[in-house]
Amino acid sequence: MDVSLLERIVSILTVDKASPLQTKSAHTVSFPTAHFEKYKKENNPHDPDNRSFVYFMVGTAAVGYASIAKNMVVGLLTTMAPSADVLAVSTVEVDLSGISEGTSVTVKWRGRPLFIRHRPQADSARVVKPEWLVMVGVCTHLGCVPIGGSGDFGGWFCPCHGSHYDTSGRIRKGPAPLNLVVPPYKFIDDLRILVGSQD
């Protein structure tokens, strides 16, 4: 062992009894590292700063973190997707063959009444086929259920606050701000519809 190193260690550990406050702490003394030089790895002459290894490690970590983040997002979105029982009640199939012209029926869809009327006249803006009208049977004012075949226009009348709808479900009189809502639906064949889906 180097003699100067031993002298340094002895001087650090020696305590002056006359003044105990003047002792040196070991962490304030710089430790000689010259004798570790033989163990250091030599620098790569093509990449002295070893950047390729650093880039590889950073890239690997980024791919790993991105994969973890993607799995977390997919897991979160999967928990918010509707379950099979919810999807099953989101559509209802209606057989139109038993509805004679000029009459209407009420069907339950998503917990709300659905009015289906077989009309002799057409209303191309609110229907898929001119002779059939399908609407959600909830007043657009405060959510009451209108009475069919009544009111000043022969369509629907909401007894809660006096909204009058015509035979096309359009608001004609009263406080309701909008026409009766037309839900998404499609014809499976000439006499069957599927409510809740347009594709």
Question: Looking at the annotation, which residues are catalytic?
Answer: 161
Instruction: Tell the residue number behind the tokens 């009327």, with chain if given.
Output: 117
Instruction: Return d(Cα 85, Cα 39) in angstroms, integer.
Output: 68
DSSP 28: G
Report residue 80 as tokens. Answer: 């918010």
Q: Could you tell me how far CA 97 lies from the centroid of its own chain?
A: 40
Question: Are the CB atoms for 196 and 90 separated by under 8 Å?
Answer: yes
Where do we find the tokens 């839900």? 183
Beta bridge partners of 113: 108
Backbone angles phi, psi at 62, to 5 degrees: -65, -45
Interacting residues of 126 by C-beta distance below 8 A, sequence separation 6+ = 133, 135, 168, 169, 170, 179, 182
Strand, coil or helix: 74: helix
107 - beta bridge partners? 114
